[in-house]
Amino acid sequence: MTTARQEKSAARLYAVQALFQMEAAGQSADRVQKEFEDHRFGADVDGDTLAEGNIDLFRKLIDDAVNWQAKIDQMTDRALVEKWPINRIDPTLRALFRAAGAELIEGDAPPKVVISEFVDIAKAFFPEGREPKFVNAVLDHMAREAKPDAF
């Protein structure tokens, strides 16, 4: 994997974590972005160095997820079964769907790349669960709605 690709993957992971933190702690996007950029990107934690992230992609995902949250949540709701609206799903998955939705709506990456990247993130958070398959199905539905010409 190239460094540029690794940095984009890290930016997506950090965006999910940041969106989760914003919701869980009630923090602003600006505050969380600054914290991640200053203390997570490439930081040394207990002898391990965290990955550098593509700051531009990270910022864009956070900004677009905040700006388009209502639209993204509606897209997610349409992809979920009726009895499980977005506000009832795991907050980590909610953050993941918002970051992925932001990239599907406003990003330049092909939908299949976005889906693959965020399924990998789901695997990192839920290595033993069924969540990655669930994420794949929901993001496929969202991608077909956001960019129907790509399929």
pTM given for the model: 0.93
Q: Which CATH class is domain 3-146?
A: mainly alpha
- Lowest-confidence segment of 41-50, 117-126, 132-141 by average pLDDT: 41-50
Identify the pLDDT of residue 47: 82
Given a cut of 90, whether residue 95 has pLDDT beyond it is: yes
What is the pLDDT, as a whole number, of residue 2? 63
Confidence of residue 1 (pLDDT cuts 50, 70, 90): low
**SS3 at position 100:** helix
105 CB-near residues (< 8 Å, 6+ apart):
64, 68, 71, 72, 146
Geometric angle at alpha carbon 83, from 82 and 86, rounded to 5°:
80
pLDDT at residue 5 greater than cutoff 70: yes
Closest CA to 76 of 100, 103, 110, 112: 100
pLDDT tens-place string over residues 33-87: 999 999 888 888 888 888 899 999 999 999 999 999 999 999 999 998 776 778 8
